[in-house]
Protein backbone atom coordinates (compact mmCIF):
# COMPACT_ATOMS: atom_id res chain seq x y z
CA UNK A 1 0.00 0.00 0.00
CA UNK A 2 1.29 3.46 -0.94
CA UNK A 3 0.75 5.69 2.10
CA UNK A 4 1.96 8.97 0.60
CA UNK A 5 -0.56 11.70 1.35
CA UNK A 6 -2.83 9.30 3.25
CA UNK A 7 -3.95 9.79 6.84
CA UNK A 8 -2.75 7.01 9.15
CA UNK A 9 -3.54 6.66 12.85
CA UNK A 10 -0.93 4.95 15.04
CA UNK A 11 -2.23 3.64 18.38
CA UNK A 12 0.41 3.28 21.11
CA UNK A 13 3.61 5.30 21.37
CA UNK A 14 6.11 2.72 22.59
CA UNK A 15 9.21 1.52 20.69
CA UNK A 16 7.20 0.05 17.85
CA UNK A 17 4.91 3.09 17.75
CA UNK A 18 7.83 5.48 17.35
CA UNK A 19 9.41 3.28 14.65
CA UNK A 20 6.07 2.95 12.85
CA UNK A 21 5.41 6.70 12.90
CA UNK A 22 8.90 7.41 11.63
CA UNK A 23 8.53 4.94 8.76
CA UNK A 24 5.12 6.33 7.78
CA UNK A 25 6.27 9.95 7.99
CA UNK A 26 9.31 9.21 5.84
CA UNK A 27 6.93 7.78 3.22
CA UNK A 28 4.83 10.94 3.21
CA UNK A 29 1.85 9.81 5.28
CA UNK A 30 -0.18 12.19 7.45
CA UNK A 31 0.46 10.59 10.83
CA UNK A 32 -1.67 10.93 13.95
CA UNK A 33 -0.33 9.16 17.04
CA UNK A 34 -2.59 8.28 19.96
CA UNK A 35 -1.52 7.12 23.43
CA UNK A 36 -3.48 6.94 26.70
CA UNK A 37 -0.56 8.36 28.69
CA UNK A 38 -0.40 12.14 29.20
CA UNK A 39 2.08 14.05 27.06
CA UNK A 40 4.31 14.73 30.08
CA UNK A 41 5.03 10.98 30.35
CA UNK A 42 5.81 10.65 26.63
CA UNK A 43 8.45 13.34 26.24
CA UNK A 44 11.22 10.94 25.21
CA UNK A 45 9.06 9.26 22.56
CA UNK A 46 7.70 12.56 21.24
CA UNK A 47 11.20 14.06 21.09
CA UNK A 48 12.30 11.04 19.00
CA UNK A 49 9.87 12.24 16.30
CA UNK A 50 10.71 15.95 16.50
CA UNK A 51 12.22 15.90 12.98
CA UNK A 52 8.71 15.32 11.65
CA UNK A 53 6.78 18.43 12.75
CA UNK A 54 3.70 17.40 10.77
CA UNK A 55 3.15 14.36 13.03
CA UNK A 56 0.22 15.03 15.37
CA UNK A 57 -0.21 13.65 18.88
CA UNK A 58 -3.43 12.83 20.73
CA UNK A 59 -2.59 11.85 24.31
CA UNK A 60 -4.30 11.16 27.61
CA UNK A 61 -7.07 8.88 26.30
CA UNK A 62 -8.22 6.86 23.28
CA UNK A 63 -11.06 8.92 21.74
CA UNK A 64 -13.02 7.11 19.03
CA UNK A 65 -13.31 10.25 16.92
CA UNK A 66 -9.64 10.23 15.91
CA UNK A 67 -10.69 7.56 13.40
CA UNK A 68 -13.06 8.74 10.68
CA UNK A 69 -13.70 8.39 6.95
CA UNK A 70 -10.58 10.42 6.13
CA UNK A 71 -8.34 7.74 7.73
CA UNK A 72 -6.89 5.16 5.32
CA UNK A 73 -5.48 2.72 7.87
CA UNK A 74 -4.73 2.20 11.55
CA UNK A 75 -1.50 0.68 12.87
CA UNK A 76 -1.62 -0.46 16.47
CA UNK A 77 1.09 -1.22 18.98
CA UNK A 78 1.06 -5.00 19.64
CA UNK A 79 0.30 -4.48 23.32
CA UNK A 80 -2.80 -2.40 22.62
CA UNK A 81 -6.03 -4.37 23.21
CA UNK A 82 -8.39 -4.81 20.26
CA UNK A 83 -11.43 -3.36 22.05
CA UNK A 84 -10.28 0.26 22.26
CA UNK A 85 -12.84 2.79 20.93
CA UNK A 86 -10.76 3.98 17.94
CA UNK A 87 -10.13 0.38 16.87
CA UNK A 88 -13.81 -0.46 17.17
CA UNK A 89 -14.61 2.63 15.08
CA UNK A 90 -12.09 1.54 12.43
CA UNK A 91 -13.72 -1.88 12.17
CA UNK A 92 -17.17 -0.29 11.88
CA UNK A 93 -15.92 1.92 9.05
CA UNK A 94 -14.08 -0.92 7.28
CA UNK A 95 -10.67 0.69 7.78
CA UNK A 96 -7.76 -1.82 7.87
CA UNK A 97 -6.17 -2.34 11.31
CA UNK A 98 -2.85 -4.14 11.69
CA UNK A 99 0.43 -4.16 13.62
CA UNK A 100 3.75 -2.66 12.57
CA UNK A 101 5.04 -6.13 11.64
CA UNK A 102 2.66 -6.10 8.67
CA UNK A 103 3.68 -2.57 7.69
CA UNK A 104 7.40 -3.35 7.92
CA UNK A 105 7.08 -6.59 5.93
CA UNK A 106 5.84 -4.64 2.91
CA UNK A 107 9.19 -2.86 2.72
CA UNK A 108 11.63 -5.67 3.58
CA UNK A 109 12.92 -7.46 0.49
CA UNK A 110 15.41 -9.70 2.35
CA UNK A 111 14.38 -13.24 3.36
CA UNK A 112 12.44 -13.28 6.63
CA UNK A 113 13.06 -16.02 9.18
CA UNK A 114 10.17 -15.77 11.66
CA UNK A 115 9.96 -17.36 15.12
CA UNK A 116 7.00 -17.67 17.48
CA UNK A 117 5.82 -19.89 20.32
CA UNK A 118 4.83 -19.51 23.94
CA UNK A 119 8.34 -20.11 25.26
CA UNK A 120 11.85 -20.09 23.84
CA UNK A 121 11.29 -17.37 21.23
CA UNK A 122 14.04 -15.03 22.36
CA UNK A 123 16.69 -17.72 22.84
CA UNK A 124 15.87 -19.35 19.49
CA UNK A 125 15.83 -16.00 17.70
CA UNK A 126 19.17 -14.93 19.13
CA UNK A 127 20.74 -18.35 18.48
CA UNK A 128 19.44 -18.46 14.90
CA UNK A 129 20.70 -14.94 14.29
CA UNK A 130 24.17 -15.96 15.48
CA UNK A 131 24.16 -18.93 13.09
CA UNK A 132 23.41 -16.69 10.13
CA UNK A 133 25.95 -14.09 11.27
CA UNK A 134 28.63 -16.75 11.67
CA UNK A 135 27.90 -17.94 8.14
CA UNK A 136 29.04 -14.54 6.86
CA UNK A 137 25.58 -13.24 6.04
CA UNK A 138 24.66 -9.71 7.13
CA UNK A 139 21.90 -10.45 9.62
CA UNK A 140 19.31 -8.30 11.36
CA UNK A 141 17.68 -9.66 14.54
CA UNK A 142 14.47 -7.79 15.29
CA UNK A 143 10.80 -7.96 16.29
CA UNK A 144 9.69 -8.82 19.81
CA UNK A 145 13.33 -9.24 20.84
CA UNK A 146 13.74 -5.47 21.26
CA UNK A 147 14.22 -3.75 17.89
CA UNK A 148 10.97 -3.22 15.95
CA UNK A 149 10.95 -4.56 12.40
CA UNK A 150 9.96 -1.14 11.12
CA UNK A 151 13.13 0.33 12.68
CA UNK A 152 15.43 -1.72 10.41
CA UNK A 153 13.57 -1.26 7.12
CA UNK A 154 15.90 1.42 5.74
CA UNK A 155 19.04 -0.61 6.47
CA UNK A 156 18.07 -4.03 5.09
CA UNK A 157 19.25 -5.02 1.58
CA UNK A 158 17.84 -7.90 -0.50
CA UNK A 159 20.95 -10.05 0.06
CA UNK A 160 20.66 -9.78 3.87
CA UNK A 161 18.55 -11.93 6.19
CA UNK A 162 16.11 -10.83 8.88
CA UNK A 163 15.53 -13.09 11.88
CA UNK A 164 12.38 -11.96 13.68
CA UNK A 165 10.86 -12.93 17.01
CA UNK A 166 7.08 -12.49 16.83
CA UNK A 167 4.48 -12.59 19.59
CA UNK A 168 0.83 -13.56 19.26
CA UNK A 169 -0.02 -9.87 19.72
CA UNK A 170 2.11 -8.97 16.70
CA UNK A 171 0.87 -11.83 14.54
CA UNK A 172 -2.85 -11.37 15.20
CA UNK A 173 -2.69 -8.05 13.38
CA UNK A 174 -1.04 -9.30 10.17
CA UNK A 175 -2.73 -9.58 6.77
CA UNK A 176 -0.20 -10.50 4.07
CA UNK A 177 2.92 -11.15 6.17
CA UNK A 178 4.92 -13.96 4.54
CA UNK A 179 8.25 -15.20 5.90
CA UNK A 180 10.57 -17.45 3.91
CA UNK A 181 11.04 -19.78 6.91
CA UNK A 182 8.88 -19.91 10.04
CA UNK A 183 8.70 -21.91 13.25
CA UNK A 184 6.18 -22.43 16.03
CA UNK A 185 8.19 -23.70 18.99
CA UNK A 186 5.35 -24.67 21.33
CA UNK A 187 1.91 -23.60 22.48
CA UNK A 188 0.79 -23.58 26.10
CA UNK A 189 -1.93 -21.40 27.67
CA UNK A 190 -0.80 -17.77 27.84
CA UNK A 191 -2.38 -14.34 27.47
CA UNK A 192 -5.82 -15.79 28.09
CA UNK A 193 -6.93 -12.35 29.27
CA UNK A 194 -6.30 -11.16 25.71
CA UNK A 195 -7.14 -14.12 23.45
CA UNK A 196 -9.93 -15.65 25.53
CA UNK A 197 -9.23 -19.29 24.68
CA UNK A 198 -6.36 -21.60 23.77
CA UNK A 199 -7.91 -22.06 20.32
CA UNK A 200 -7.84 -18.33 19.59
CA UNK A 201 -4.29 -18.09 20.93
CA UNK A 202 -3.23 -20.95 18.63
CA UNK A 203 -4.92 -19.27 15.67
CA UNK A 204 -2.98 -16.08 16.35
CA UNK A 205 0.27 -18.04 16.35
CA UNK A 206 -0.75 -19.87 13.14
CA UNK A 207 -0.82 -16.56 11.26
CA UNK A 208 2.95 -16.89 11.03
CA UNK A 209 2.50 -19.39 8.17
CA UNK A 210 -0.90 -18.24 6.86
CA UNK A 211 0.56 -16.75 3.67
CA UNK A 212 3.48 -19.10 3.11
CA UNK A 213 3.44 -21.04 -0.15
CA UNK A 214 5.24 -23.91 -1.87
CA UNK A 215 8.95 -23.19 -1.68
CA UNK A 216 8.67 -21.70 1.82
CA UNK A 217 9.33 -23.70 5.00
CA UNK A 218 7.35 -24.20 8.21
CA UNK A 219 8.94 -25.87 11.25
CA UNK A 220 6.79 -27.37 14.02
CA UNK A 221 7.52 -29.06 17.35
CA UNK A 222 6.63 -32.76 16.94
CA UNK A 223 6.73 -33.24 20.73
CA UNK A 224 4.07 -30.61 21.45
CA UNK A 225 0.52 -31.74 20.58
CA UNK A 226 -0.90 -28.22 20.47
CA UNK A 227 1.70 -27.29 17.86
CA UNK A 228 1.97 -30.51 15.87
CA UNK A 229 -1.81 -30.68 15.35
CA UNK A 230 -1.35 -27.87 12.81
CA UNK A 231 1.06 -29.82 10.57
CA UNK A 232 -1.54 -30.36 7.80
CA UNK A 233 -2.52 -26.68 7.60
CA UNK A 234 0.42 -24.94 5.91
CA UNK A 235 0.79 -24.86 2.13
CA UNK A 236 4.55 -24.62 2.63
CA UNK A 237 7.07 -27.45 3.08
CA UNK A 238 6.76 -28.72 6.68
CA UNK A 239 9.72 -29.88 8.78
CA UNK A 240 9.52 -30.96 12.41
CA UNK A 241 11.88 -31.29 15.37
CA UNK A 242 11.90 -33.63 18.36
CA UNK A 243 14.16 -34.39 21.28
CA UNK A 244 12.44 -37.72 22.06
CA UNK A 245 11.89 -39.48 18.72
CA UNK A 246 13.39 -39.80 15.25
CA UNK A 247 11.57 -38.14 12.36
CA UNK A 248 11.20 -38.79 8.62
CA UNK A 249 12.07 -35.14 7.87
CA UNK A 250 13.48 -32.73 10.40
CA UNK A 251 15.91 -32.47 13.31
CA UNK A 252 16.13 -34.92 16.21
CA UNK A 253 18.47 -36.77 18.58
CA UNK A 254 20.16 -40.07 17.72
CA UNK A 255 22.77 -41.59 20.00
CA UNK A 256 23.26 -38.26 21.80
CA UNK A 257 23.82 -36.36 18.55
CA UNK A 258 21.72 -33.71 16.82
CA UNK A 259 20.70 -35.10 13.44
CA UNK A 260 19.25 -33.35 10.36
CA UNK A 261 17.18 -35.53 8.04
CA UNK A 262 15.90 -34.01 4.78
CA UNK A 263 13.97 -37.14 3.88
CA UNK A 264 16.83 -38.53 1.79
CA UNK A 265 20.11 -37.82 3.57
CA UNK A 266 20.97 -37.87 7.29
CA UNK A 267 23.62 -35.45 8.61
CA UNK A 268 25.05 -35.34 12.16
CA UNK A 269 25.54 -31.84 13.56
CA UNK A 270 27.13 -32.14 17.02
CA UNK A 271 26.85 -33.95 20.34
CA UNK A 272 24.11 -32.79 22.67
CA UNK A 273 26.73 -32.44 25.43
CA UNK A 274 28.53 -29.82 23.33
CA UNK A 275 25.58 -27.39 23.37
CA UNK A 276 26.48 -24.41 25.55
CA UNK A 277 23.01 -23.46 26.84
CA UNK A 278 21.54 -25.74 29.58
CA UNK A 279 18.16 -27.46 29.88
CA UNK A 280 15.92 -29.80 27.87
CA UNK A 281 13.86 -26.86 26.67
CA UNK A 282 17.02 -25.27 25.27
CA UNK A 283 17.73 -28.52 23.45
CA UNK A 284 14.39 -28.00 21.71
CA UNK A 285 15.41 -24.42 20.93
CA UNK A 286 18.71 -25.67 19.53
CA UNK A 287 16.92 -28.18 17.27
CA UNK A 288 14.58 -25.47 15.99
CA UNK A 289 17.44 -23.04 15.36
CA UNK A 290 19.38 -25.77 13.57
CA UNK A 291 16.55 -26.21 11.07
CA UNK A 292 15.92 -22.47 10.71
CA UNK A 293 19.56 -21.95 9.76
CA UNK A 294 20.07 -25.11 7.67
CA UNK A 295 16.95 -24.49 5.57
CA UNK A 296 18.30 -20.98 4.95
CA UNK A 297 21.57 -22.30 3.59
CA UNK A 298 23.83 -22.18 6.67
CA UNK A 299 26.34 -25.04 6.72
CA UNK A 300 26.23 -27.83 9.29
CA UNK A 301 29.74 -26.87 10.38
CA UNK A 302 28.67 -23.29 11.15
CA UNK A 303 25.58 -24.50 12.98
CA UNK A 304 27.69 -26.81 15.17
CA UNK A 305 30.24 -24.06 15.82
CA UNK A 306 27.50 -21.71 17.01
CA UNK A 307 25.74 -24.29 19.20
CA UNK A 308 29.01 -24.94 21.02
CA UNK A 309 29.63 -21.24 21.74
CA UNK A 310 26.27 -19.49 22.13
CA UNK A 311 26.00 -18.46 25.82
CA UNK A 312 22.27 -17.71 25.95
CA UNK A 313 20.45 -14.39 26.29
CA UNK A 314 20.00 -11.96 29.17
CA UNK A 315 17.02 -12.63 31.47
CA UNK A 316 16.68 -16.26 30.32
CA UNK A 317 18.38 -18.63 32.80
CA UNK A 318 21.08 -15.98 33.13
CA UNK A 319 23.70 -16.74 35.76
CA UNK A 320 24.28 -13.74 38.03
CA UNK A 321 26.70 -14.85 40.77
CA UNK A 322 27.48 -17.47 43.40
CA UNK A 323 27.55 -16.25 46.99
CA UNK A 324 28.47 -18.63 49.82
CA UNK A 325 27.75 -21.57 47.57
CA UNK A 326 24.31 -20.23 46.54
CA UNK A 327 23.90 -19.65 42.79
CA UNK A 328 21.55 -16.91 41.57
CA UNK A 329 19.80 -17.10 38.18
CA UNK A 330 17.77 -14.43 36.41
CA UNK A 331 14.89 -15.88 34.38
CA UNK A 332 12.76 -12.74 34.25
CA UNK A 333 11.77 -13.67 30.69
CA UNK A 334 9.88 -16.65 32.16
CA UNK A 335 6.49 -14.92 32.03
CA UNK A 336 4.17 -17.95 32.09
CA UNK A 337 3.83 -21.15 34.08
CA UNK A 338 5.36 -23.43 31.45
CA UNK A 339 8.48 -21.26 31.26
CA UNK A 340 8.87 -21.29 35.04
CA UNK A 341 8.47 -25.07 35.17
CA UNK A 342 11.11 -25.55 32.48
CA UNK A 343 13.44 -23.18 34.30
CA UNK A 344 13.13 -25.20 37.51
CA UNK A 345 13.72 -28.42 35.56
CA UNK A 346 16.90 -27.01 34.02
CA UNK A 347 18.81 -27.13 37.31
CA UNK A 348 19.40 -30.14 39.58
CA UNK A 349 19.27 -29.89 43.35
CA UNK A 350 17.46 -27.67 45.81
CA UNK A 351 15.97 -24.40 44.56
CA UNK A 352 14.35 -21.31 46.06
CA UNK A 353 11.93 -19.78 43.55
CA UNK A 354 10.89 -16.13 43.29
CA UNK A 355 7.57 -15.96 41.44
CA UNK A 356 4.63 -13.63 40.82
CA UNK A 357 3.71 -10.48 38.97
CA UNK A 358 0.92 -9.22 36.74
CA UNK A 359 -2.14 -11.47 36.53
CA UNK A 360 -2.75 -12.57 32.91
CA UNK A 361 -5.65 -14.81 33.89
CA UNK A 362 -3.83 -18.14 33.76
CA UNK A 363 -4.17 -21.04 36.18
CA UNK A 364 -1.44 -22.04 38.63
CA UNK A 365 -2.37 -25.57 39.71
CA UNK A 366 0.17 -27.20 37.34
CA UNK A 367 2.86 -24.79 38.49
CA UNK A 368 2.06 -25.57 42.12
CA UNK A 369 2.52 -29.30 41.52
CA UNK A 370 5.86 -28.62 39.81
CA UNK A 371 6.96 -26.44 42.72
CA UNK A 372 6.37 -29.40 45.07
CA UNK A 373 8.80 -31.45 42.95
CA UNK A 374 11.46 -28.89 42.17
CA UNK A 375 11.50 -26.13 44.80
CA UNK A 376 12.29 -26.14 48.51
CA UNK A 377 10.62 -22.79 49.11
CA UNK A 378 9.05 -19.87 47.25
CA UNK A 379 8.97 -16.10 47.68
CA UNK A 380 5.84 -14.51 46.17
CA UNK A 381 5.70 -11.02 44.70
CA UNK A 382 3.30 -8.84 42.78
CA UNK A 383 -0.39 -8.55 42.03
CA UNK A 384 -0.96 -12.28 41.60
CA UNK A 385 0.75 -13.37 44.84
CA UNK A 386 -2.52 -14.23 46.69
CA UNK A 387 -3.71 -16.46 43.82
CA UNK A 388 -0.32 -18.16 43.66
CA UNK A 389 -0.42 -18.72 47.42
CA UNK A 390 -3.88 -20.29 47.14
CA UNK A 391 -2.65 -22.67 44.42
CA UNK A 392 0.40 -23.68 46.46
CA UNK A 393 -1.71 -24.26 49.57
CA UNK A 394 -4.23 -26.32 47.62
CA UNK A 395 -1.34 -28.47 46.37
CA UNK A 396 -0.14 -29.03 49.92
CA UNK A 397 2.92 -26.78 49.65
CA UNK A 398 3.21 -24.32 52.51
CA UNK A 399 6.86 -23.27 52.46
CA UNK A 400 6.34 -19.82 50.96
CA UNK A 401 6.57 -16.20 52.03
CA UNK A 402 5.61 -12.80 50.60
CA UNK A 403 7.76 -9.83 49.63
CA UNK A 404 6.62 -6.30 48.83
CA UNK A 405 9.60 -5.52 46.59
CA UNK A 406 11.98 -7.53 44.46
CA UNK A 407 14.90 -6.47 46.63
CA UNK A 408 13.07 -7.85 49.68
CA UNK A 409 12.34 -11.06 47.75
CA UNK A 410 16.02 -11.51 46.91
CA UNK A 411 17.00 -11.01 50.55
CA UNK A 412 14.37 -13.50 51.78
CA UNK A 413 15.30 -16.08 49.14
CA UNK A 414 18.97 -15.76 50.04
CA UNK A 415 18.18 -16.39 53.72
CA UNK A 416 16.06 -19.43 52.82
CA UNK A 417 18.86 -20.96 50.71
CA UNK A 418 21.97 -22.83 51.71
CA UNK A 419 25.26 -23.79 50.11
CA UNK A 420 24.67 -25.80 46.93
CA UNK A 421 21.19 -24.31 46.38
CA UNK A 422 20.01 -22.12 43.53
CA UNK A 423 17.90 -18.97 43.89
CA UNK A 424 15.85 -18.63 40.73
CA UNK A 425 13.79 -15.65 39.60
CA UNK A 426 11.30 -17.24 37.19
CA UNK A 427 8.10 -15.31 37.84
CA UNK A 428 5.58 -17.27 35.69
CA UNK A 429 3.87 -13.89 35.20
CA UNK A 430 4.25 -10.67 33.26
CA UNK A 431 6.05 -7.75 34.88
CA UNK A 432 3.60 -4.90 34.26
CA UNK A 433 2.26 -4.59 37.80
CA UNK A 434 5.61 -3.53 39.26
CA UNK A 435 7.92 -2.87 36.31
CA UNK A 436 7.99 -1.36 32.84
CA UNK A 437 8.94 -4.72 31.32
CA UNK A 438 10.70 -8.02 32.07
CA UNK A 439 14.07 -6.40 31.35
CA UNK A 440 13.63 -3.83 34.10
CA UNK A 441 12.54 -6.62 36.46
CA UNK A 442 15.56 -8.75 35.55
CA UNK A 443 17.97 -5.85 35.90
CA UNK A 444 16.59 -4.99 39.34
CA UNK A 445 16.96 -8.62 40.37
CA UNK A 446 20.60 -8.63 39.28
CA UNK A 447 21.26 -5.36 41.09
CA UNK A 448 19.71 -6.73 44.27
CA UNK A 449 21.74 -9.94 44.04
CA UNK A 450 24.98 -8.06 43.49
CA UNK A 451 24.25 -5.90 46.56
CA UNK A 452 24.06 -8.92 48.85
CA UNK A 453 27.01 -8.76 51.21
CA UNK A 454 26.90 -12.35 52.38
CA UNK A 455 27.03 -14.03 55.70
CA UNK A 456 30.60 -15.22 55.22
CA UNK A 457 33.04 -15.53 52.31
CA UNK A 458 31.97 -15.46 48.68
CA UNK A 459 33.02 -18.59 46.84
CA UNK A 460 32.65 -17.42 43.26
CA UNK A 461 31.44 -14.46 41.24
Catalytic site residue 144? yes
Q: What is the 3-state secondary structure (H, E, C) of the chain?
A: CCCCCCEEEEECCCHHHHHHHHHHHHCCCEEEEEECCCHHHHHHHHHCCCCCCCCEEEECCCCHHHCCCCEEEEEECCCCCCCCHHHHHHHHHCCCEEEHHHHHHHHCCCCEEEEECCCCHHHHHHHHHHHHHHCCCCEEEEECCCCCHHHHHHHCCCCCEEEEECCHHHHCCCCCCCCCEEEECCCCCCCHHHHCCHHHHHHHHHCCCCCCCECEEEEEECCCHHHHCCCCCCCCEEEEECCCCCCCCEEEEECCEEEEECCCCEEEEEEHHHCCCCCHHHHHHHHHHHHHHHCCCCCHHHHHHHHHHCCCCCCCCEEEEEECCEEEEECCCCCCHHHHHHHHHCCCCCEEEEECCECCCCCCHHHHHHHHHHCCEEEECCCCHHHHHHHHHHCCCCCEEECCCHHHHHHHHHHHCCCCCEEEECCCCECCCCCCCHHHHHHHHHHHHHHCCCCCCCCEC
CA distance 103 to 402: 44
The bridge status of strand 217-221 relative to strand 237-241 is: parallel
φ, ψ at 418 (rounded to 5°): -130, 175
CA distance 379 to 20: 40
CA distance 230 to 331: 30
In terms of Cα–Cα distance, which of 363, 369, 374, 380 is closest to 434? 380
Q: Indicate which residue of 62, 76, 133, 191 is catalytic.
A: 191
Q: Indicate which residue of 144, 221, 330, 336 is catalytic.
A: 144
Q: Indicate which residue of 62, 76, 121, 207 is catalytic.
A: 121
Mind telling me the catalytic residues? 121, 144, 191
Amino acid sequence: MDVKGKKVVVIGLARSGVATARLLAQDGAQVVINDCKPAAELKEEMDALSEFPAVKFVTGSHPAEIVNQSVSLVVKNPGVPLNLPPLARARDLGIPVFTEVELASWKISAPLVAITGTNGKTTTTALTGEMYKNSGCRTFVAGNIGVPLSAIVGAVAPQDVVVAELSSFQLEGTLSFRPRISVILNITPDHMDRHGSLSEYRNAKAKIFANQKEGDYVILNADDPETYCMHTRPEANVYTFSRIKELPKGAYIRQSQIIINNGVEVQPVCDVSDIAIPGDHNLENALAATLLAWLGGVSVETIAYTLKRFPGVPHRLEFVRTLEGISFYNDSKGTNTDAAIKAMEAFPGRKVLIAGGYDKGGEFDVLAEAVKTHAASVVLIGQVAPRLADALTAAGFNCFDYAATLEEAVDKAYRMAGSGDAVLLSPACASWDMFKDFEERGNQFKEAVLKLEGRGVETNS
